[in-house]
Structure formats: structure tokens, C-alpha cells
Amino acid sequence: MISAWPMLASASDAPAFVQSQIDDSGASYIKLLHELGDTLSMTDLPRPPLDIQKAVVDAAHERGIIAVGHALSHAGAMDLLAAGVDGLAHCFLDKPADNEWIKAMKNQGMHCSPTLSLCASQTGQGAPLQQRFAEDPLSRRMQFDPRPQMDVGLACNSRHNASIENVYENTRTMYQAGIPLIVGSDAAGQAVGSAFGLGVHMEIYQLVHEIGMQPEEALRSATSLTAERFGFGDRGVIEPGRLADLVLLESDVRKTMRDENVLCLPISMVWREGVLADVFKLSE
């Protein structure tokens, strides 16, 4: 896949590319990869020049969808801000945030999905917590693969300047500055990231216990705030006329989420568009 990057040769290719992503692939947003490799063990990653990145963002906006960007370093994140993205798909790992970055985020009305669990995996510093989650009884009940060491497949591939403490500090700074934080896990499979589903539980846990969010705030970040930021007006809250995409929990987690020993949210049922997920039908 990397050998095919960048996918566009010039800024003039952007409108047709975005239209194809929406019309042919059903894209509801565009994600730009702008990885400099300076926090990874690879520094020769190909990437489009900024004029192409900006053209892609502009084309997405013209089609009425948002554009978010991937960058794991401060320099890459600043490039994405200059390109005009609506949000960052990760928090950078290499240095603490400066006032310039926070001011730009606020002025542009951006959000961030810090992907704390992925970043902790990337640096290798998240292994103990990931293993705890993989072995949690609620997690084991839902895992497709019973081997927890496979389910946490760490994406550990970072340079010495990458630190989860930078990510935590930067995310706290964004939170305190009022920048919207949404929940994401970047679960890309067993070999390169956190496990599907489990990463969301970890992300919510870290937002509460590492960043200082209130449980209600973290739950909104995983539901209504994400829908709002991506322009999904048909979901995200429970009210007439919205899609019945629902998660039923076994208890009032607003209290239990404050307990560091309570890891996974106790999911009882999941519906998508009003249809109960098959895994819960099997358990009836």
C-alpha cells in the first residue's frame, strides 16, 4: 500500500478524487495521511505536498464533508493545520504542545481524536494496560480470538523522541483549552494496532483516568460529539427520528467509570438501525 502513495499527482486531481471516494466508495469524510516518519522508525515515507493536501481539504468541503488528518509529529500536525483540516486523527508524540498550536486549533474550530490507546501502543508504553484490558472478563466474553496477546497486537515502532507522556500532556492541554476531543481507537487489525472494539473501551478509560474527563464527557465524546463533528445528523443521540444505533449498558457507569479497577464498559446489548447484533441473539 505504501508503494502506491501519494495517490494524487497534482492539486487539480483533488476534486475528481474526492468525488470518486464519495460516489464510488461511500466515503462520509476524507482522511489525509501526512506522516513525516519523524516519530517512527521510518523517515522515507512518501507524502503529497501541502498544495495537494489543501486541495483535497477544499474539495471535501465543497462536497459537504469534513477532512481529518493523520500526523504523529508536531511538524506534521502543523502542516495539516495549514492545509485546513477539520480535525486531527491522532495527537502527536514527539513534544509538548505550544501556544501556537493550541491557538490555531481553537481559531480553526478543530477537534482531535487523540487515540491514546494507539499512541501508547506505538511507543510500547501501553503494553501493561492493553494486557489488562485483553484479560478483563468483560473483554474475554466478547473476543473473537481467545489469545489476548494477539488481540493487543502492539504497533510498537517508534523513535526515542516519541512518548505517551507527551500525548497525555497535549491531550490534557487541549481538554483544558476547550478543544473538542472525540473517541477513536485506530483499530487496524491484530498486527498493527489495538483490537477492534476493545480499543474504544481503552480510549474511554484513558480519557477519564489520564486526561481528567468526567465520565459523562467521555461518553458524549464517544457518541453525540463524534456525530456532531462528522455531520452525522441522523445518529448520536436517542430521540425520535434518529437511527436506532444503540448500546445498552448493564449499570449506571457514571459512577463505576471513576474506579481505576473497572476497565471495560459492561455492554448488555447493541442495536444497529434497530437490529439487535447477532452475537447478543446467540447469547439469549
Q: Is residue 186 part of a domain?
A: yes
Q: Is residue 279 part of a domain?
A: no
pLDDT score, position 152: 44
Number of folded domains that form the chain: 1
Which stretch of DSSP H or E encloses residue 247? strand 246-249
Tell whether the torsion through CA atoms of 239, 241, 244 and 245 is positive or negative.
negative
Q: Domain of 102?
A: 2-235
Tell me the C-alpha distance between 81 and 214, whole Å.
28
Q: Is residue 258 part of a domain?
A: no
pLDDT score, position 38: 77
**Residue 248: helix, strand or coil by DSSP?**
strand
pLDDT score, position 58: 98
pLDDT along the chain (284 residues), means of 10: 71 96 97 85 77 97 97 93 97 90 95 92 81 84 56 51 90 97 79 71 96 98 97 95 94 92 92 86 53
CA-closest candidate to residue 262, choices 252, 273, 247, 274 = 252
Cα torsion 90, 196, 203, 242 to 10°: value is 90
Q: Backbone phi, then psi, for 255, in 5-degree steps?
A: -95, -45
pLDDT score, position 4: 63
pLDDT score, position 140: 77
pLDDT score, position 237: 95
pLDDT score, position 154: 44
pLDDT score, position 105: 96
Q: Is residue 243 part of a domain?
A: no
Q: Is residue 223 part of a domain?
A: yes
pLDDT score, position 159: 58
What CATH number should be reported for the domain holding residue 87?
A: 3.20.20.140
Beta bridge partners of 110: none
